[in-house]
Amino acid sequence: MSSFYSESTFLALIILSVVLAAIAALLFGIRKHLKSLNEEKNPTAKEPTFYESKIYPVISKWNPTIATLVIAGFLLVVLGAFGYKFGMDEVGVQQGYAPNQPINFSHKIHAGQYEIDCKYCHSTVEKSKSASIPSLNTCMNCHKYVKADEKYNGKTSPEIQKIYDAIGYDGDNMEYIEGYEQKPIKWIRIHNLPDLAYFNHSQHVVVGNLECQTCHGPIQEMEKVEQFATLQMGWCIDCHRERGIDSENNEYYEEVHKNMIAEGKDYVTVAENGGLECSKCHY
Amino acid sequence: MSSNKYWKGVEELEQTQEFVTSNANEFSEGLPLDKVFANDDSTRANRRDFLKYFGFGLGAVTLAACNKAPVKKAIPYTEKPDNVTPGVPLYYASSSVSNSEGFPVLVKVREGRPIKFEPNKEATYFGGGLDGLGHSAILSLYDTNRLKGAMVAGKRKVQEWADFDKEVVAALDKTAASGKAIAVVTNGSTSLVTNQAIADFKAKYSNTNVVAYEPISYSGIIRANETAFGSAVIPAYNFQNADVIVSFGADFLGTWISPIKFHSDYGKNRVPKDGKMSKHFQFESLMSLTGSNADVRVPIKMSNVGKHLIALYRELGGATPQNGMETAGNSIKQAAEELKAAQGRALVICGSNDEQHQLLVNAINTMLGSYGSTIDTTNYYKGQSADEKNFNAFLKEAANGSYGAVITIGANPVYSHSQAEAAYTKIPVRISTAITLDESSENSTHIATGLHPLESWDIQEPYKGRFILSQPTISPVFEGRHVASSLVAWSGASVKGTKEYSHAYAYAKSVFNNSIGGDFNKAIESGILENTTTANVPSLNVTVNSTIDAIAAKKSSDKELILYQKVGVRDGAYGNTPWAHEMPDPITKVTWDNYLCISMPDAKAAGWETGDTIKVTTPSGSMEMPILIQPGQTKETYGIALGYGRILPEEVQNDLKDLGHNAYPLVDMKGGFANYTIGAITLEKVETARVYEFGITQTHYSIEGRDIIREASLEEYRIDPKAGQNVHKPKPISLWEDYDYSKGHHWAMAIDMNSCTGCSACIVSCSIENNVPIVGRDEVRRRREMHWLRIDRYYSFEAPVKKDLSLSIVHGGDQTVEAGEQMTKEKVMEAYSDSSEDKDTAYDYYQNVRVAHQPMMCQHCDNAPCETVCPVLATTHSSEGLNQMTYNRCIGTKYCGNNCPYKVRRFNWFRYNENEKFDYHFSNDLGKMVINPDVTVRSRGVMEKCSFCVQRIQTAKLTAKRDNRKMKADEFTTACAQTCPSNAIVFGDLNDANSEISKLYKDDRSYHVLEELGVKPSVQYLSKIRNTDNKTNA
């Protein structure tokens, strides 16, 4: 696609041409109708058209009401689905978004096959609001030696070679290149929360004891990462309404836990603890 | 008693027509609906227009809807530094940028970007606060006008340093060969690193003369101390040891010497504990920040200050001739009595730069036993030690052609010294180490672009034996080089750094080892190092009789012009710091301008109004400026702030361009010192000039005679700690259902109006923390400033109890006015009518006003009126007592702003962060680096207001949860409370019995503003107690 138009501008132009085509078809139909009126006045024998011989006999048997409803229903479903998708994209809901990344990194191999702990690479997830994409020196902890060259006739895997090119590592001699100008990898961000919403990974992973997969889906099976959840506010809130906080094992919640027992409850949900209040996430 | 009524400005007091109309509305300008509906064809939309707009609108909407969210990149570190955690700030000890002598701070760094200064609480000597300019100066790092590297004049193209050095060395060698001298002009920096480098440079070029230059001179004090004690220093002042402070025109809380430190020291004795607090007399001409906080403020003329000093000297028992005294009614006598009673815990200071005045002050302080207690000449102050005598001599020689080269480090004399440009141009080689293009670097032949202090290693010594270390908190943004490295390079040594460290690091470390010694890394970590000795008491070498005769012989001037500094802008060294300029002046509340301050009696006598343009002619030149009428100012004195009129690079096209007028050329150098009080002036109105409209925030809201400020005298307080609070309170009937806040946290704030001096540091700190946009002068005129926190300054009259006007301020308020009654102009006139003998003196009472400062921000009312009226629930209440503002829900009806009794909500009229019209820092890529990533940048059309720094609350809570512990009392605080040099603001959890706030909430002085409304604010104020009875503090 031309980079001049964004994807959606292109779509709008297509819609516009469809509308214009419809108008052209209408005009053409009127012209044809006038022509046939003229022929009725001055009838001449002629061959039955394709429409008269093949299509008309079939559709003339249909019940006009049902036929209209079926066609209208079909259009409604197709266009409605398209419109829904379009609207969701517009407000930034990108569930299922799976762009091609500069390096075809496979979570399936790393997290699935080799069962590397998520936190080994996403090391700040317990300390910071962002889980953070690992820096290349984390990759190099293994890929200094792991070149996957057995699959590429003794040559370094082209994907791993991209790491070497970025950080300045000579895979053949297994040494870093002095004075190399490093080129950072520009990953494409998949999970884009709007600026107005504050999310903290450490809050959910350390305090909330959530598994990564709860929000990110079966990441260990993904060859290419895609957005699993909608990341819409309703999705956040649903979880906050259902899940209980770990009041028993966290001293911070001592008072909450006492009150909970006094009230004879089994658990306190995040929502009951104020987790639905606006400025818990919006500030 | 709080029976005296308060007013915010002359307009409100006089109820001018303009003020009344403009205050009738919530927003100064309504929608121009009447224009649209007027029966005027030119403004009416016709059918064709309608179709045009409709068609355009449809098209625009279609296109806008087609803009899908762009693909966002996420770029991790290639090699992540060990200690960096993306998303978690790091704090480095460093030195404040705006104080050239050094001031300890912490720098908050996010992902390698310094985003905020915070006070270094470990540096207790310096008080653990910071000022508005100090906060603002972080923008100088992200200034788009910064110089990009080494350049030679004319070419203005960045060069390789090696080539540049060759050129400079060739030029210097040529100068040395020609026998002409080389000058190094510094800003009197206390940097050990720079000074060592200058010494190294001198070793090669022996014919080098080092001259210190600073725009504001304190040479009077330095020379007087040399004469009196044989040590040419500015001493350290210890206000915390002073029970009685008498200041003659020294604005020590605002601009004099080291105001942030003085603030915290002074603040320690201003809270009435056990019925005791310090007593502060201020004799001054202009209404200064310090004067506004004084217990007793006596308006005098600065040209008369010497005669008042003579009177005080005599009252204290000094033998002097009887002539040449000014006693200011009874005030000097009163001050003398208090001072005598506080022997050893007294302090007298003077803001004059005249050596003779300072000599007399030294004699007075010696009599009072201040040395060794409130004044320390042993561990003296090392900053601002430049004597203009040396610089003026240098300029003279330069003008004669005796200098072949000059290297200017940190100083900008071409801007602030009227003779500098002519003399500089006579020097063939002019090398500058500036970091931004300023008047002096513009005028240079070579620019060896330096590093910003936040990019540099440095060791400073603001006080003898007290060191401040700074380390780089960001790698150089442009191709600058440390000044020390440049000097060392020119002296012939190699400045090649290693892979890990620059040359400057090794150099700074060697300076540390040679001159201080010890663990460098440990010192760098804490940022401060102290190695002081016990203060000894110097003995006075001289008698002051001849000094007194000399002062007495001088005639005081008829009219005088006083050049002063504004709290936010100071000497003007930081021209491109929009935050400092948008910070309203604590007294006048004017933003973005300087002006000629004039007293009310003078203005009335001449028939001038605020905004009229006046031409003021002095012996050194004349200026045309708009005037501003200032209550409290002494009759026949006029004031102009220095630090304005900077010539900024052409690229600057915002309000910083052509900002105010440069008053430095008016400084009087005739007496052999920089005299900022100028006599023999004439003033005339420029009739052709238009009335100038200031961007002024003070009268944006009116107080309608409500009970907002509560105050009492110390004596009343000692009898009844609830003094000043006996206001009739209607029983609140609540519209709202009560909520039980006793569980969990309940955040609240307390503001002590006794400690709050109005310095406005909190405003800037808040703006930086919360990404509050800068809107510029025009928008302030439209009442659209965005500050979440403002400081209301209220004036009240000191109605005369006795007929003697100058005495009246010493006594309590006006007893003749009933509570609830508006203190109108007529009322005051009536009260004063006996004492005013003719019409000309009828406005003299304007010289005696009292001031109260009250920080005002969202009060987080439990029953918030704003929440009730929001149609979309964009503002709601949290279970922790916060009034929450949800920007993404707000549709901008502004109902909340209308319904807020405290007028603290701000509306985003523009998308400030993307609008080129607001080209301050928000809208350019470099300036955006300073944005706090934890706070949303608001878009157009939404309301915003103080959030109690909810991002800090959330972070602190999360830290506790992660550490599996309960929250500690006061483990964090808001940005305003954190920066307050006098600890006037306290924030915390009311439900935590150990927190300071829960104790303060029980204080007898505490009250809520407008509590009769029943909105139950979460901000409590502690009433102001003035030490106005002379018997209370014996």
**3-state per-residue secondary structure call for chain A:** CCCCCCHHHHHHHHHHHHHHHHHHHHHHHHHHHHHHHHHHHCCCCCCCCHHHHHHHHHHCCCCHHHHHHHHHHHHHHHHHHHHHHHHHHHCCCCCCCCCCCCCCCCHHHHHHHCCCCHHHHCHHHHCCCCCCCCCHHHHHHHHCCCCCHHHCCCCCCHHHHHHHHHHCEECCCCEECCCCCCCCCCEECCCCCCCCCCCCHHHHHHHCCCCHHHHHCCHHHCCCCCCCCCCCHHHHHHHHHHCECCCCCCHHHHHHHHHHHHCCCCCCECHHHHHCCHHHCCC
B82, B962, B971: which to substitute to probe chain A, counting the most A Cβ within 10 Å? B962
pLDDT greater than 50 at residue B401: yes
Cα Rg, chain B, nearest whole Å: 29
Please give the average per-residue pLDDT across B452-469, as a whole number: 91
Domains plus CATH for chain B?
Answer: 219-381 (3.40.228.10), 563-696 (2.40.40.20)
pLDDT for position B41: 53
pLDDT for position B750: 94
Q: Measure CB to CB from residue A277 to each of B65, B74, B878 and give the nearest one.
A: B878
Q: Measure CB to CB from residue A274 to each of B879, B885, B961 and give the nearest one.
A: B879
pLDDT for position B816: 39
Comparison of pLDDT for B557 and B837, the residue scoring more: B557
Please give the average per-residue pLDDT across B939-968, as a whole number: 93
Chain B window 849-888: which residues touch A at a Cβ cutoff of 8 Å? 876, 878-880, 882, 884-888
pLDDT greater than 90 at residue B33: no
ipTM, two decimals, is: 0.82
Tens of pLDDT, residues A5-31: 566 777 888 999 999 999 999 999 999
Are the beta carbons of B425 and B473 closer than 8 angstroms? no
Q: How confident is the model at residue B8 (pLDDT cuts 50, 70, 90)?
A: confident
pLDDT greater than 70 at residue B29: no
**Between A and B, how many residue pairs show a Cβ–Cβ distance under 8 A?**
160
Q: How confident is the model at residue A3 (pLDDT cuts 50, 70, 90)?
A: very low
Please tell me the distance in Å from B884's CA to the nearest CA on chain A: 6
Beta-carbon separation of B884 and A198 below 8 A: no
Tens of pLDDT, residues B59-88: 655 555 554 556 888 888 888 888 888 889
Q: Measure CB to CB from residue A135 to each of B80, B878, B965 and give the nearest one.
A: B80
pLDDT for position B32: 56
Lowest mean pLDDT among A171-180, B243-252, B945-954: A171-180
pLDDT for position B625: 92
Chain B window 491-550: which residues touch A at a Cβ cutoff of 8 Å? none
Asked if B729 has any chain A CB less than 8 Å from its own CB, the reply is no
The ranges assigned to domains in chain A are 7-90, 232-283
pLDDT greater than 80 at residue B698: no
Residue type, B758: G
Set of chain A residues whose Cβ sits within 8 Å of the Cβ of B69? 89, 92, 94, 192
Comparison of pLDDT for B527 and B726, the residue scoring more: B527
Instruction: Report the residue of chain B nearest A258, measured CA to CA.
Output: B743
Tens of pLDDT, residues B484-535: 999 999 988 888 888 778 889 999 999 999 988 889 999 999 999 988 888 8
Tens of pLDDT, residues B181-220: 999 999 888 899 999 999 999 998 988 999 999 999 999 9
Please give the average per-residue pLDDT across B720-739, as a whole number: 74
Instruction: Report the residue of chain B nearest A164, measured CA to CA.
Output: B78
Lowest mean pLDDT among A155-164, A272-281, B805-814: B805-814
pLDDT for position B628: 92
pLDDT greater than 70 at residue B419: yes
Q: How confident is the model at residue A180 (pLDDT cuts 50, 70, 90)?
A: confident
- Name the residue among B541, B562, B573 with its Cα closest to residue B636: B562
pLDDT greater than 50 at residue B815: no
Asked if B690 has any chain A CB less than 8 Å from its own CB, the reply is no
Instruction: Report the residue of chain B nearest A123, measured CA to CA.
Output: B85
Please tell me the distance in Å from A65's CA to the nearest CA on chain B: 35
Beta-carbon separation of B87 and A135 below 8 A: no
Q: Measure CB to CB from residue B86 to each of A130, A138, A274 and give the nearest one.
A: A130
Beta-carbon separation of B66 and A129 below 8 A: no
Contacts of A143 (CB under 8 A, 6+ apart): A160, A163, A164
Please give the average per-residue pLDDT across A81-92, as a whole number: 80
Q: How confident is the model at residue B1012 (pLDDT cuts 50, 70, 90)?
A: confident
Chain B window 881-900: which residues touch A at a Cβ cutoff of 8 Å? 882, 884-889
Computed over every residue of chain B, the mean pLDDT equals 84
Q: Do strands B883-885 and B906-907 pair parallel, antiparallel, or not at all (unpaired)?
A: unpaired
Are the beta carbons of B281 and B246 closer than 8 angstroms? yes
Q: How confident is the model at residue B955 (pLDDT cuts 50, 70, 90)?
A: very high
Contacts of B42 (CB under 8 A, 6+ apart): none
Set of chain A residues whose Cβ sits within 8 Å of the Cβ of B935? 283
Please tell me the distance in Å from A64's CA to the nearest CA on chain B: 36
Asked if B993 has any chain A CB less than 8 Å from its own CB, the reply is no
pTM of the full structure: 0.86
Residue type, B1013: L
pLDDT for position B814: 38
Please tell me the distance in Å from A83's CA to the nearest CA on chain B: 13
pLDDT greater than 70 at residue B543: yes
pLDDT greater than 80 at residue B603: yes
Beta-carbon separation of A279 and B966 below 8 A: no
Contacts of B465 (CB under 8 A, 6+ apart): B379, B530, B531, B532, B533
Percentage of chain B surpassing pLDDT 90?
40
Q: Measure CB to CB from residue A124 to each of B85, B934, B966 and give the nearest one.
A: B85
Q: Measure CB to CB from residue A255 to each of B78, B86, B743 and give the nearest one.
A: B743
pLDDT for position B320: 64
Please tell me the distance in Å from A33's CA to the nearest CA on chain B: 34
Beta-carbon separation of B68 and A89 below 8 A: yes
B62, B71, B80: which to substitute to probe chain A, counting the most A Cβ within 10 Å? B80
Beta-carbon separation of A8 and B951 below 8 A: no
pLDDT for position B45: 55
Set of chain B residues whose Cβ sits within 8 Å of the Cβ of A255? 743-744
Beta-carbon separation of A133 and B76 below 8 A: yes
pLDDT greater than 90 at residue A110: yes
Beta-carbon separation of A252 and B964 below 8 A: yes
Beta-carbon separation of B961 and A207 below 8 A: yes
Q: How confident is the model at residue B806 (pLDDT cuts 50, 70, 90)?
A: very low
Beta bridge partners of B499: none
Chain B window 772-791: which residues touch A at a Cβ cutoff of 8 Å? none
Separation CA B54–CA B33 (nearest Å)? 20
Please give the average per-residue pLDDT across B958-985, as a whole number: 92
Please give the average per-residue pLDDT across B148-171, as a whole number: 86
pLDDT greater than 50 at residue B809: no
Set of chain A residues whose Cβ sits within 8 Å of the Cβ of B73? 186-189
pLDDT greater than 70 at residue B223: yes
Q: How confident is the model at residue A222 (pLDDT cuts 50, 70, 90)?
A: very high
Computed over every residue of chain A, the mean pLDDT equals 88
Comparison of pLDDT for B748 and A86, the residue scoring more: B748
pLDDT greater than 90 at residue A241: yes
Token pair listed for A136: 């290349």
pLDDT for position B1030: 40
Set of chain A residues whose Cβ sits within 8 Å of the Cβ of B67? 6, 8-9
Please tell me the distance in Å from B874's CA to the nearest CA on chain A: 9
Lowest mean pLDDT among A147-151, B62-66, B349-353, B562-566: B62-66
pLDDT for position A1: 40
Set of chain B residues whose Cβ sits within 8 Å of the Cβ of A187? 73-76
